[in-house]
């Protein structure tokens, strides 16, 4: 693996979360690393090539959390129907960034790639390096109410997406955010836009709060999938969320009916968006899947593309990587009187004990079966999950590297520039590092 070190004046910051901002098009070598830190700052670390061919780096502050509260998690998704749920194959230049953390603060930002000559004068420096820059806008913020100001509850994880059905100009719904909190609840938030938002572009509206146990939820993932090959409409897509708790429990939640109802509500005012009462228990709960906290989760569709199958990869304090293959089925007519319209069953599970020498802090997986993990043992490891008919699920280590940033706490990965063989992995802790993995040279 070829490491690229980001030497930044923010290297002393304690970074809790990182997301890769993809280039504006496949021909550009300009991308960003978005980080959230203990001091409440959200930074974009630009990576670009100068006119002389040298790689250049610079930092730009996106914003600061209300009151300087710590940023525990960020989510980045394309501002496009299905963004954050399914792969978007065309060039995307507008993204929504959600940041969450202490005091239950959640903020929303729009990040748009623009040509450098469209930037304000103080951004003109970028024109010497690349033809692209970013423009950021604070869209909205949500913090504790007066009644909960004395609470020490925190948002521990956040994900977001634009529903596939969110196409009508008659709907006030803009996008959806999910937050996992330290009191063990999963909250569904609607970001809606209308003429009553004042200085902000969107309002946050709490749609529902779902409780399963008193243990803190510390990791979260979301995915959309079809249950059969005949599904052709957005309403045929199932939306599932997965949460990991401090007691090692992993739960799967069916959000399909909530999201469909929100997406199809005509509304002139976001205040009219429907709220739901506590929608009850998850579809399935797997207690003690890890011996202790589930620090990180990844959720993806089946590597074979088979409808109705998903992978969930998890890493925890027990140093174990666990990959579980689930099958999702629609309940038949006689079963639909139950609270859940789908059933979720475990097909296979595979785990690797002592995958790292310390707590696993970050995990990433895509639908090709590539898996990346990092840990407090200062290591980055790359794995391959193999799914084949009539064979047991298998996971094998294919690459590894020492991580130079101290106390790795999180990672993100993606393929940049249209090259599906080069995987870029960003690792953050008390510093920031980018490592490139040439999958074509990995041992099988």
* Mean pLDDT across the chain: 83
Whether the CA torsion 245, 247, 248, 253 is positive or negative: it is negative
Closest CA relative to residue 159, chosen from 62, 82, 84, 94: 84
At 443 the pLDDT is: 52
pLDDT in tens, 203-218: 898 999 998 888 999 9
Q: What's residue 125's pLDDT?
A: 46
- Out of 25-29, 88-92, 155-159, pick the least confident: 88-92
Q: What's the CA gap between 386 and 328, in Å, rounded? A: 20
Please count the other Cβ atoms lying within 10 Å of the Cβ belonging to residue 345.
Answer: 9
pTM for the model: 0.89
Measured distance CA(300)–CA(369) in Å, rounded: 9
**Overall average pLDDT of the 235-256 stretch:** 92
pLDDT for position 57: 85
Q: Which residue has the higher pLDDT, 43 or 172?
A: 43
**CATH superfamily ID and name for 2-441:** YVTN repeat-like/Quinoprotein amine dehydrogenase (2.130.10.10)
Domain spans of the chain, in order of start: 2-441
Cα of 376 vs its chain's centroid, Å: 21
SS3 258: helix
Query: Distance (Å, rounded) from C-alpha 374 to C-alpha 356?
Result: 8
Query: In this predicted model, what pLDDT tens digit does every residue of 37-77 receive, in sequence order?
Result: 999 999 999 988 776 767 788 899 999 999 899 999 999 99
**For residues 151-171, average pLDDT:** 78
């Amino acid at each position: 693996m070829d490491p690229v070190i980001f030497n930044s004046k923010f290297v002393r910051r304690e970074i809790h979360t990182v997301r890769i901002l993809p280039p504006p098009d496949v021909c550009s070598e300009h991308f960003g690393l978005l980080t959230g830190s203990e001091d409440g700052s959200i930074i974009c670390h630009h990576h670009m090539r100068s006119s002389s061919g040298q790689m250049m780096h610079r930092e730009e502050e996106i914003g600061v959390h209300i009151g300087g509260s710590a940023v525990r998690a960020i989510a980045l998704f394309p501002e496009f129907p299905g963004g954050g749920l399914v792969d978007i194959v065309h060039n995307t230049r507008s993204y929504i960034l959600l940041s969450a953390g202490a005091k239950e603060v959640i903020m929303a930002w729009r990040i748009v790639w623009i040509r450098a000559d469209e930037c304000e004068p103080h951004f003109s420096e970028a024109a010497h390096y690349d033809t692209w820059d970013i423009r950021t806008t604070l869209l909205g913020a949500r913090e504790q109410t007066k009644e909960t100001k004395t609470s020490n509850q925190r948002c521990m994880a956040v994900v977001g997406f634009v529903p596939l059905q969110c196409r009508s100009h008659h709907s006030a719904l803009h996008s959806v955010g999910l937050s996992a909190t330290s009191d063990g609840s999963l909250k569904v938030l609607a970001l809606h836009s209308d003429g009553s938002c004042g200085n902000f572009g969107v309002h946050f509206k709490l749609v529902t709060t779902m409780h399963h146990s008193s243990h803190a939820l510390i990791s979260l993932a979301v995915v959309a999938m079809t249950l059969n090959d005949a599904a052709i409409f957005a309403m045929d897509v199932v939306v599932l969320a997965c949460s990991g708790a401090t007691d090692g429990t992993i739960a799967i939640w069916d959000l399909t009916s909530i999201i469909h109802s929100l997406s199809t509500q005509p509304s002139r005012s976001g205040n009219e968006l429907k709220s739901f009462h506590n929608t009850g228990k998850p579809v399935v709960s797997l207690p003690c899947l890890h011996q202790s906290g589930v620090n990180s989760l990844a959720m993806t569709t089946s590597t074979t593309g088979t409808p109705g199958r998903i992978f969930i990869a998890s890493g925890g304090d027990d140093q174990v990587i666990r990959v579980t293959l689930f099958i999702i089925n629609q309940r038949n007519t006689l079963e639909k009187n139950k609270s859940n319209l789908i059933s979720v069953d475990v097909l296979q599970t595979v785990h690797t004990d002592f995958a790292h020498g310390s707590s696993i802090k970050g995990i990433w997986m895509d639908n090709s079966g590539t898996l990346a993990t990092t840990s407090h043992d200062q290591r980055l490891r790359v794995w391959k999950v193999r799914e084949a008919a009539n064979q047991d699920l298998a996971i094998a280590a294919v690459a590894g590297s020492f991580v130079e940033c101290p106390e790795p706490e999180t990672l993100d990965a993606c393929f940049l520039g249209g090259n599906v063989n080069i995987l870029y992995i960003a690792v953050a802790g008390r510093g920031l590092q980018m490592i490139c993995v040439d999958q074509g040279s990995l041992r099988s």
